[in-house]
Amino acid sequence: MTFDSNNNTETEETYADSIGAETAGPEATVPEDTTAQGAEVIGVRRGMFGVSGTGDTSGYGRLVKPVSLPGSSPAPYGGYFDEVVAALRNALSAKGIRFEDALEKVVVFRGELTLHVRRERLVAVARALRDDPALRFELCLGVSGVHYPDDAGRELHAVYPLMSITHNRRIRVEASAPDADPHIPSLYEVYPTTDWHERETYDFFGIVFDGHPSLTRIIMPDDWRGHPQRKDYPLGGIPVEYKGARIPPPDERRAYN
């Protein structure tokens, strides 16, 4: 809120506006989100904690919220994002790969550029991002698994944050696979640092990274059943055996009448 001494009036000013006025210089170009109108609604969430029926005593039982993912963003994307997409298009074309055949969509959301790559083209796109002089994304910062049970046909996602040390740029690459066929090519040969990250994602989400040199569990025991970070995994884990007693998971310890 600002005060105009000449007119003796108060003018509302948002916090974001005031911060932007103080920090953004004449050279600053911050890519804006271009997906507000193109969100992909994949389901509806009811309640807050997955409890249905009379078991919800939290007060959130009537909460209804759509589950949506950012939709495809139209060009221009802003900042260096346009240069990255154009360079990738040229690099793939030089290899005889159509950009539209390799990527499902390009998303700019909350200041980040995400390239949604078809899994069968993931290795080729990663090589282009790493090797092309105009791109040079030499560093893969890991692999994160995501489970969207309502995203039919592409329930499992693998997300790769990439960084270009040469150009000081960051992007994200995302590939998806159906729950019925959870196979995504390994990027170990392109980015050897994904070795343990792919093993962890396999361990917790069940994504099978084809071509990985040793795809085994890295945290859970080898004979563990299921993948603990999937959203359909039982709440509270598995029953615990303690001194001969069986202690059920938390979601089975109490009944509501």
pLDDT for 135-172, tens place per residue?
A: 999 999 999 999 999 888 999 999 999 999 999 999 99
Per-residue pLDDT at 59 exceeds 90: no
Per-residue pLDDT at 22 exceeds 60: no
For residues 145 and 231, give the distance between their C-alpha atoms in angstroms, rounded to a whole number.
12
For residues 29 and 94, give the distance between their C-alpha atoms in angstroms, rounded to a whole number.
30
Per-residue pLDDT at 124 exceeds 90: yes
pTM recorded for the entire structure:
0.74
- Structural tokens at position 120: 């069968």
For residues 79 and 31, give the distance between their C-alpha atoms in angstroms, rounded to a whole number.
6
pLDDT of residue 28: 37
| Residue-averaged pLDDT of the chain | 81
Q: Which residues of 40-79 are buried (b: 16+ CB within 10 A; e: fewer)?
A: eebeeeebeeebeeeebeeeebeeeeeeebbbebeeebbb
Q: How confident is the model at residue 177 (pLDDT cuts 50, 70, 90)?
A: very high
How many of the other CB atoms lie within 10 Å of CB of 129?
A: 27
Nearest 10 degrees: Cα torsion 10, 16, 17, 20: 140
- Structural tokens at position 132: 């092309």
Omega prior to 161 cis, within 30 of 0: no
pLDDT of residue 223: 82
How many of the other CB atoms lie within 10 Å of CB of 131?
A: 13
pLDDT of residue 30: 40
Q: Which residues pair with 145 in a beta bridge?
A: 158
Q: How confident is the model at residue 231 (pLDDT cuts 50, 70, 90)?
A: confident
For residues 60 and 49, give the distance between their C-alpha atoms in angstroms, rounded to a whole number.
8
Give the phi and the psi of residue 42 in degrees, each rounded to 5: -110, -5
pLDDT of residue 199: 96
pLDDT of residue 140: 97
What DSSP character marks residue 223? T
Residue among 140, 226, 238 nearest 179 (CA): 226
pLDDT of residue 26: 36
Per-residue pLDDT at 2 exceeds 90: no
Per-residue pLDDT at 11 exceeds 70: no
Place of tokens 């069968």: 120
What DSSP character marks residue 193? T
Higher pLDDT, 178 or 231: 178
Domains and CATH numbers, the chain: 80-210 (3.30.460.80)
Q: How confident is the model at residue 17 (pLDDT cuts 50, 70, 90)?
A: very low
Q: How confident is the model at residue 56 (pLDDT cuts 50, 70, 90)?
A: low
